[in-house]
Chain A
Amino acid sequence: MAMNVIDRDSLIGMVAGPLVWAVHFLVCYVVVAVACAFGFGMAGAGEWSAVRSVLMVVSGVALAAIAVLTLLAWRRWFQAGGFRTPKDSVQVRHQFMALGGLLLCLLSAVAVIYVTAPLFFLPTCG
């Protein structure tokens, strides 16, 4: 079933990476907003806090998910010819859809890393 959704020809499969990014971003935003409002994220820069750990885990999960999606896209792309230019139009389409998904996964991974970076050196609230 899961494999069906990220089938070679599915648009959802193509944007799966960015969707993970979106969820990750939302979770980070909400967790920090709630934590700061209720005062349990007050640890200063460099100090470790529960909020920070939670978000680290969330980021880890997001990156892992994107890694899996990337691998799947990579495999689909490779099956459809990879760097070669296939003659058959079905192969071309599969190649395009897979490469698009792959690139979007990479972009999402970069974006997730960008968003995660501040966790290491900024105070949570304030």
Chain B
Amino acid sequence: MFRTTRELDEASRHDAGLRHLREVWAPPKGLSWFKGINNTVIGLLYVLTGLFFLVAAGILALMMRAQLAVPENDLLSAEWYNQIFTMHGTTMMFLFAVPIMEAIAIFVIPQMLGARDLPFPRISAYGYWAYLFGGLIALGSLFFKVAPASGWFMYVPLSGAEYSPGLGPDFWLLGIGFIEVSAVAAAIEIIVSVLKFRSPGMSMDRLPVFAWYMLVFGFMIMIGFPPLVLGDILLEVERAFDWPFYDTERGGDPLLWQHLFWLFGHPEVYIIFLPGAGLLSTIIPTFARAPLAGYVWVVLAAVGTGFLSFGLWVHHMYTTGIPLMSLSFFSAASLAVAIPSGIQVFAWIATIWNGPGIVWRAPMLYALGSIFIFVAGGLTGVMVALVPFDFQVHDTYFVVAHFHYVLFGGAVMPVLAALHYWVPLATGKLMSESLGRWSFGLIFVGFNLAFFPMHFTGLRGMPRRVYTYPAELGWDWLNMISTVGAFMVAAGFVIFLWDFLYWHRKHGAEAGYNPWNAGTMEWHTVTPASNFSLRSVPVVSSTYPLWEEPGLMERVDRGEFYLPDASEGKRKTLRTGTVMGQPQQVLFLPHPTWTPLIAAAATAAFFGLAIFKLWWYCAAALVVLLVSGLVWMWNTEPRPEPNLYDAGCGEVLPVYVNGKQTHGFWAMALLLLFDAAAFASLVFSALFLWTVNRDFPPPVPEGGLGWAWITAGLMLLASLVFRLGVLANKRGLFPGLIAGLVVSMPVMLAGGAALLFSLFATELRPTENAFNAVYWMFAVWTGFHIVVGIVMVLFMLARAFAGLVTAERRQSLMNVELFWHFTAGLALISLVMVHLWPRMI
């Protein structure tokens, strides 16, 4: 077994397989380094970028605290303060908390699962660059003092065109819209990775517990982000084109925004907290020297929280005049979600109890501190979940104290623990123990000093989001303490970051092999971890292979298991079965390439230019995006002849597989799940406006029914023709395939045109009132899918003529087909919502 990097170097001199692996997986050098797509490269960049945004948001927090230190302070103007607290919240939630969890997962999940890389390395690279550019666009607005100023939740009408005429909200909407792109990319990557790219033998009951959490996290993003994406689009369309979704004068409703926002916003809190809990559940067993107690209970807690947290959104809207009975449903769900949270805390305590005693190292200090702070936040959470209490403290500093306790304990402290814990995988060195104690002490004490008094300032009535306050209300010394605490936290962070970024790399102790004596597989070999993850992909038979299977790792390092070589110069990984983890396919992975970076830059240009409404330049950016996308996709589906690969361990596996179990199909299906959730939010919007706007009934369209029937017919026909083409292809009838593709396009286009005509015929104009705007939004949504679908089919045609679509090679065709039928389905539902539903009610 390799215990030092020198042993590894030595071994690769006479071990050809190892040498090949190192060559094939080495990141490119020089400028080409930016082509890198390997999870270790991207994961590290991701983490560093997340920390950068944390620092930025932290500086904003200090500015606020400095302003609030004394009454009647005039350090910051009211307007400037508004921008700062908005960007503080936005940056923390969107640019730090969610991405850093993805970052850590991207870095460690493959290693932990015993995979060589993530299933879609280029997509994670694209997601990373999108995140970086989008974040910089959103944050950049601060430098010109044109940042959004309506709070991180951007309530309308405050953020609407009338009260926020500048560019601020556009920066927010487009910058954040962009972040969502990257979050979705990462979520798909993580879900597919956890379900399909594990070591053989790693069945669902042996999954590292962090992987369970990240699985739930991924699905929560797929369902939780779409409402916000939709709300964003509606708001941007309202601002840019005056379609009144939220404007009460024309039948819109600001509460619609609140619903869409909190449908996302509450799950978001758990999207942040669950990975944090996952980190704790990974780190605590290591330092308690005992396996996680009640594994199945913890899995239950993660999955249960994931579900229940979707029933909580209205608890942010208790004071908005929703029927009492409805409020009580949300209150009930808010109390129910405390059950799984409690279970996790008990599992952690039991783990420590089971072990022979705690190893008091810095990551464990952070972990324990995190539990303490999180529990304190959970207690006030139960308090504000009760409707009468919430009426009392709504929008006071009590709430600020509550959610910072939850977020800091649930996310920030676990992240610090995790960075301390896993940094040797990246640098091969340990962070300083004494600096770690200092930073922990300062952060922990400082945090409580800063936020505990806020409970009292809140109970004494100090409202949130005010830039200053009069002296005689008894809030001054409490605020002063908070400010001192905040600066202590900052000092702790300075120490932590200095150690993390610089000191430990220069002076830290060599980490060597498994420095914490952990049980999960990311520690299976010498640090820093190799880009290829493992020498060979093992067959595991426990949750903690390093603890429970002595000798296994020697055999891994001798190359006795799967894929021990890369002699043909290709990156490969193993795809395994979803539940049982049996080997099913050898997957060839892409090598470094520029396309993700170019595509992300083009996406950034598109959103950035859209802020300034430079539509022609936007179109140009779109063309670049399209071209890079096509180049990117062209080389997918490699299909060697014969389609067999000797994977090692005496198993010969296919390289190319068609069907529903492939990773490509899963990615497409997940993407459409996201899409469907956004579309469902649009349906929700229509129904919501209908229930709240009693004196503004949905206009009943006159005419257009004929066109609607024609649309329906054409859409069904387009689907049918496509299906026939696919069936022909399966039989090897190439002309049949071409005919199917060629004919289905104009049919679908005609269907789209008929949908448009059906709306024109009603003479309902989108700017007139909210319902008309929603009707048109259905058409726009469908139209967008039609355009994308046509591009996909043209691409399929090109591939077909290049001989890349055949009876054996039909996966991409299958994916396109799924999208095609989905589009037809969208059109049919749109017809129902525009033409049928208003006539029925």
Contact = CB atoms under 8 A, between A and B. Distances in A.
10 contacts: A10-B579, A22-B307, A29-B326, A32-B323, A93-B204, A96-B296, A104-B303, A111-B332, A114-B335, A124-B324
Interface in B293-319: 296-297, 299-300, 303-304, 307-308, 310-311
Contacts of B300: 100, 103-104, 107
A37 interface: yes
Given A115-B333, A118-B328, A18 B303 contact: yes
A122 B328 contact: yes
Contacts of A92: 205
Contact of B339 (A34, A38, A110, A124): A110
B303 A118 contact: no
B758 to A, nearest CB: 27
Contact of A11 (B325, B336, B578, B690): B578
A65 interface: no
Nearest to B688: A33
A20 to B, nearest CB: 10
Contacts of A117: 332
Given A21-B307, A25-B329, A89-B203, 8 more contacts: A29-B329, A32-B323, A36-B325, A36-B326, A108-B304, A110-B339, A115-B311, A124-B324
Interface in A76-126: 89, 92-93, 95-97, 99-100, 103-104, 107-108, 110-111, 114-115, 117-119, 122-126
A97 B205 contact: yes
A123 B325 contact: yes
Given A18-B303, A21-B307, A97-B204, A36 B323 contact: yes
Nearest to A116: B332
A84 to B, nearest CB: 15
Nearest to B542: A89
Interface in B639-693: 687-688, 690-692
Interface of A: 9-11, 14-15, 18-19, 21-22, 25, 28-30, 32-34, 36-38, 41, 89, 92-93, 95-97, 99-100, 103-104, 107-108, 110-111, 114-115, 117-119, 122-126
A107 B203 contact: no
B307 A9 contact: no
A108 B339 CA distance: 11
A122 B327 CA distance: 11
B303 A93 contact: no
Contact of B326 (A14, A22, A32): A32
B29 interface: no
B750 interface: no
B208 interface: no
B76 interface: no
A48 B202 CA distance: 54
B579 A114 contact: no
A34 B692 CA distance: 9
Contacts, number: 117
List 9 tightest A-B contacts by C-beta distance, closest first: A96-B205, A118-B328, A18-B307, A114-B332, A37-B691, A111-B336, A36-B323, A103-B300, A125-B323
A93 B691 contact: no
Contacts of A107: 300, 304, 308, 336, 339-340
Contacts of A97: 204-205, 579
A32 B579 contact: no
Nearest to B334: A114
Nearest to A123: B324
A121 B690 CA distance: 28
A76 to B, nearest CB: 13
B310 to A, nearest CB: 7
B636 interface: no
A37 B687 CA distance: 11
B517 interface: no
A32 B340 contact: no
Nearest to B305: A107
B541 interface: yes
Contact of A33 (B204, B205, B326, B332): B326
B325 A32 contact: yes
Interface in B679-731: 687-688, 690-692, 694
Of the candidates B296, B297, B580, the one having the most CB atoms from chain A within 10 angstroms of its own CB is: B296
- Chain B interface bracket (under 10, 10 to 19, 20 to 34, 35 or more): 35 or more
Interface in B201-231: 203-205
A93 B326 contact: no
B296 A99 contact: yes
Contacts of A110: 336, 339
A74 to B, nearest CB: 14
Contacts of B326: 29, 32-33, 36
B205 A18 contact: no
Nearest to B203: A93
B453 to A, nearest CB: 33
Nearest to A7: B579
Given A11-B204, A18-B307, A32-B323, A100 B296 contact: yes
Contacts of B691: 33-34, 37-38
A40 to B, nearest CB: 12
Nearest to B692: A37
Given A107-B340, A114-B336, A93 B328 contact: no
Contacts of A37: 690-692, 694
B387 to A, nearest CB: 10
Given A25-B311, A29-B329, A122-B328, A9 B692 contact: no
A118 B579 CA distance: 39
Given A11-B204, A32-B326, A125-B324, A93 B580 contact: yes
B611 to A, nearest CB: 36
Contacts of B310: 22
A27 to B, nearest CB: 11
Given A22-B307, A110-B339, A93 B205 contact: yes
A92 B205 CA distance: 8
Nearest to B578: A11
**Of B297, B304, B331, most A-chain CB atoms within 10 Å:** B304
Contacts of A126: 323-324
Contacts of B580: 9, 93
B325 A122 contact: yes
B684 to A, nearest CB: 9
A103 B304 CA distance: 9
Contacts of B340: 107
B669 to A, nearest CB: 14
Contacts of A100: 296, 299-300, 303
Given A15-B303, A96-B205, A103-B300, A124 B335 contact: no
A28 B303 contact: no
A19 B310 CA distance: 11
Max count, chain B CB within 10 A of own CB: residue among A30, A96, A125: A96
Interface string B340-363: 100000000000000000000000
A30 B541 CA distance: 47
B149 to A, nearest CB: 32
B50 to A, nearest CB: 30
B323 A124 contact: yes
A18 B304 CA distance: 7
B332 A115 contact: yes
Contacts of B311: 21-22, 25, 111, 115
| Residue among A36, A107, A108, A126 facing the most chain B CB atoms (10 A cut-off) | A107
A118 B332 CA distance: 8
A15 B303 CA distance: 8
Contacts of B541: 89
Contacts of B332: 111, 114-115, 117-118
Interface in B276-300: 296-297, 299-300
A115 B694 CA distance: 27
A119 B326 CA distance: 10
Contacts of B325: 32, 36, 41, 118-119, 122-125
Interface centre among B336, B690, B692 (most CB of A within 10 A): B336
Contacts of A118: 325, 328-329, 331-332
Nearest to B304: A107
